[in-house]
A and B are shown apart, each in its own frame.
Chain A
Amino acid sequence: MTEPLVIGFETSCDETGVGVVRGHTLLADALATSVAEHERFGGVVPEIASRAHLEAMVPTVHRALAEAGVAPSDVDAVAVTAGPGLTGALLVGLAAAKAYALALDKPLYGVNHLAAHVAVDELQHGRLAEPSLALLVSGGHSSLLLVPDLAREVTPLGRTIDDAAGEAFDKVARVLGMPFPGGPPIDRAAREGDPAAIDFPRGLTGPRDAPYDVSFSGLKTAVARWVEARRRAGEPVPVADVAASFQEAVADVLTAKAVRACRDHGVDHLVLGGGVAANSRLRALAEERCAAAGIVLRVPSPRLCTDNGAMVAALGSRLVAAGVAPSAPDLGADSSLPVETVSR
């Protein structure tokens, strides 16, 4: 029997994503983004993102279906991010997905954005080992998850207590005069820098700190103080060294906590996800430390680490295969959907 064809909708932030998968096979990953419209504001403006989603929605569906080479009537199930995310943005994708499900007379699955970031790896590396650990780091989230059953059970182990990792990248980039979003320019600048040049603080790594929670607010402030002190003294700012040392502090804390969580829970598979997982130093250090600890590391390609519709379709496909019940007709969006709620 052919595996089900699932279309997935993602609009939780500034990317309008529509993906199509069959089983674990990626057929289409159409994306529109409003990131350029947010740049001059230094962060995502929810109303601008929501307007852009509406404008892009139907054309993005057309691109996805064309790329997949399928007709709307071929679709077996519709999946959509129901949260967490920006309410106004989420509602555009949710309403569109509900309408397509109604018009195509197919089941609808409202899914968790974070679980979808884990599921996307199945499109590249096949079925996930269960249990796995997942480290999800992006502009909106920083979470360490235990995943006994991706279709039904995801347990949060730790999260950021202040800024998301991606926010810290954005703010440090701003301090260094780099564009938004800050991840790519910091990664580029860091290649020329010395990661040991400045000993920036590693938050929440003391013996009494929560073992799996992270904090980036103190790090961000430490970087700003260091740079501002240089500027006040009239000295040049070694941008590459600052970028490399900051990035090292983030990658060090995240990978150390992820490896420790694997050990503590007897789990030997780690999945990375989220936009910050596209960072080259985080990927390299995770590889190094996982290899040393005997942990199998799975990292999707950078394109699939950032928000997209294929990840939502991938989780939808997993839910269909697991026989999970579809969402009720009055499905809504929940901007703070708990990570334990894989689908609703």
Chain B
Amino acid sequence: MLVLALDTATPTLVAGVARRSAAGDAEVLAERAVPSGNRHAELLVPTVREVLAAAGLALADVDVVVAGLGPGPFTGLRVGVVTAAALADARGVPAVGVCSLDAVGSGARTVVTDARRREVYWAAYDAEGARVDGPGVVRPEEAGLTGPLVGDPRFAERLGAPVEPAEVTTAGLLHAAAGPLADPSSAGPLVPLYLRRPDAVPPTSFKPVTTA
């Protein structure tokens, strides 16, 4: 089974193609991690073309698309999710969504990524790599997260513990998707893990133009 994996939940855009055996072993054929910042929409499709070309494959060869559903900054996150949904729809293949944090590091760990607004997204995993807590969003100073911490090292000081640098990888996305990939046709629609509500408060009253 040929898998195209995409993730835009962090400032690093990830696109990769991998072959997954019936036994569930994944072999990454080509992968790009592009530090694209806020240019995911510009660079994702060209990057998908690149990884397919590097693997000597065409999009028509892809059997399933795996997408990171975040959590991540909303605007960039949606680029990867809608791209995966549209590619899968146009090719008539299933799309499978995974929590992007599941694709960072391996084994027992707590993953932290930048949630902006001085907060981190986090999730905790046991020795088998199964998520046991999270995903959540929290201020690092109030997090009380237990190590080993992996992910975005810029938060080490505010977390009060070292953070082993790690990013989303194609292998990580496939590993996270192992369950649904066993039966991809049963996957539901791709729904981002926003974790925060939109910032909007209904006005209680409108200010008059004139002051009495």
Contact = CB atoms under 8 A, between A and B. Distances in A.
Interface of A: 40-42, 45, 47-48, 50-51, 54-55, 57-58, 61-62, 72, 87-88, 91-92, 94-104, 174-175, 221, 224-225, 228-229, 232, 329-333
Contacts, number: 116
A221 B209 contact: yes
Nearest to B48: A102
Contact of A330 (B43, B80, B87, B199): B43
B85 A58 contact: yes
A99 B82 contact: yes
A47 B46 CA distance: 26
A57 to B, nearest CB: 6
A205 B45 CA distance: 49
Contact of B42 (A55, A97, A331): A331
A229 B79 CA distance: 49
Contacts of A41: 200-203
Contacts of B199: 47
Given A47-B74, A54-B81, A229-B210, A99 B42 contact: no
A42 B203 contact: yes
Interface in B39-78: 39, 41-46, 48-49, 59, 74-75, 78
A162 to B, nearest CB: 14
Contacts of B78: 50-51, 54, 88, 91-92, 95
B144 interface: no
B200 A332 contact: no
Contacts of B80: 95
Contacts of B191: 55
13 contacts: A47-B199, A48-B198, A51-B78, A57-B85, A61-B86, A62-B89, A91-B41, A91-B79, A96-B85, A103-B90, A103-B91, A104-B90, A333-B41
A174 to B, nearest CB: 6
Contacts of A51: 74, 78, 192, 194, 198
Query: Main secondary structure on chain B at its contact with chain A?
Result: helix
Contacts of B192: 51, 54
A50 B74 CA distance: 9
Contact of B198 (A45, A232, A329): A45
A100 B89 CA distance: 8
Contacts of B82: 54, 57, 92, 95-96, 99
B75 A87 contact: yes
Given A95-B44, A98-B41, A98-B44, 18 more contacts: A41-B202, A50-B74, A51-B194, A62-B89, A91-B41, A92-B78, A95-B41, A95-B86, A99-B82, A99-B87, A104-B90, A174-B206, A221-B209, A224-B208, A228-B209, A329-B45, A332-B39, A332-B42
Contacts of A228: 208-210
Contacts of A232: 212
B83 interface: yes
Contact of A91 (B49, B75, B198): B75
